[in-house]
Amino acid sequence: MTKLVLGIVLGIIAIAMLRSSNGKPAIFKMGAQGILVAAVLFVLASAIITVPAGHIRVATLFGKVLDATYREGLHLVNPLLEFTQFDLRQKTHKESAGIPAEDKLITRMDVSVQYRTIGEMSPEILRNTGNTETLIQVHLIPKLRSILREQGKGVELSQDFFRESIQKQLQETLQLGLSEFLAPKGLQVETVLIRDVQLPDVIRTAITETKRREQEVLKQQAELERFAKEQEQKVKQAESELRAARLEAQRIKALAEAEAYKIDLINKTLAQSPNYIELKKVEQWNGVLPLYTGGDNIPMLDLRSMKKPVKKP
């Protein structure tokens, strides 16, 4: 519309200059002609629109929304029309909301909704809400929070939101509820994803404390197992040493019994041989003859005891 108005204004100026160009220099007339050409170009430009890929345009004529839409490409249109452009590409809306469970504790949850604008319903969107961004604020966000709150009523404990089955059920319910609600309003919901779940502080503290205690218990169990293994090794070592001692005692006892048997056998054998006693006496003689004095017996002298030592010069 701006180009059309500018073209009309330039056209009027050019016509006025051409009418008053009599008696004026030739350059004045050429300038008027140039302005007229520019006016024509502006009018033609206002009659041509280009729609980029993945977009659609909706026309309005003097404030009235027309049902005709213009998809990507080059279009020759009425210069009096005004256009509103809609993006039909896939987009993602991220929402963080608090969900109360039956235990009255609030769980924070981050949800991503992937959607796209339904091109055929662009005129209705323009009439009812204005654009896609307004449609998100007016319809998608309140409905999403409402469904989340309703689903929270069926969850007994806040920590159950961590369960895969609960999250899967919640995603399916959100996608179904949002699709049915937003499709008539011009939005196509493609996917609903739960990105993050943040439990209440009191539960997170309790979980942290529970994990710490479990780690302490595991540590103590590991220590007890280590101590038990050490004691078991000591017992096995003691049993091994005891068996070795018993074997050694048995060996010594067997040797002693064998030696006693040998001695007993020798004694019994020698008891039957009187010469053995005499032989023992001879073996025990130290080579010294006995000395006798007085009486009727012939004295025996030990000449070795009478030998005087020789003095050295």
- pLDDT at res. 306: 47
Contacting residues for 41 by C-beta, under 8 A, at least 6 apart: 7
Q: Tokens 């839409």 appear where? A: 69
Q: Is 49 helix (H, G, I), strand (E, B) or coil?
A: strand
Helices marked H in the chain — which ranges? Answer: 2-19, 26-46, 122-128, 132-135, 141-152, 164-182, 201-270, 275-284, 303-306
Q: pLDDT tens for residues 120-145?
A: 999 999 988 888 899 999 999 999 98
- pLDDT at res. 18: 60
- pLDDT at res. 282: 65
CA distance 121 to 126: 9
Q: pLDDT tens for residues 143-197?
A: 998 988 888 887 777 777 778 888 888 888 999 999 999 999 999 999 998 888 8
Q: Is 81 helix (H, G, I), strand (E, B) or coil?
A: coil
What is the set of domains in the chain, with CATH numbers? 2-86 (no CATH), 91-199 (3.30.479.30)
- pLDDT at res. 117: 92
CA distance 100 to 112: 19
One-letter identity of residue 202 = V
Q: Is 153 helix (H, G, I), strand (E, B) or coil?
A: coil
Contacting residues for 71 by C-beta, under 8 A, at least 6 apart: 51, 56, 119
CA distance 182 to 140: 7
Q: Is 108 helix (H, G, I), strand (E, B) or coil?
A: strand
Rg (CA), the chain: 60
8 Å CB contact between 108 and 96: yes
147: how many CB neighbours lie within 10 A of its CB? 21
Instruction: Determine phi and psi for 116, rounding to 5 degrees.
Output: -150, 155
CA distance 187 to 175: 12
What is the model's pTM? 0.56
Residues of the chain with pLDDT under 70: 1-11, 14-26, 28-29, 32-33, 36, 39-46, 204, 270-313
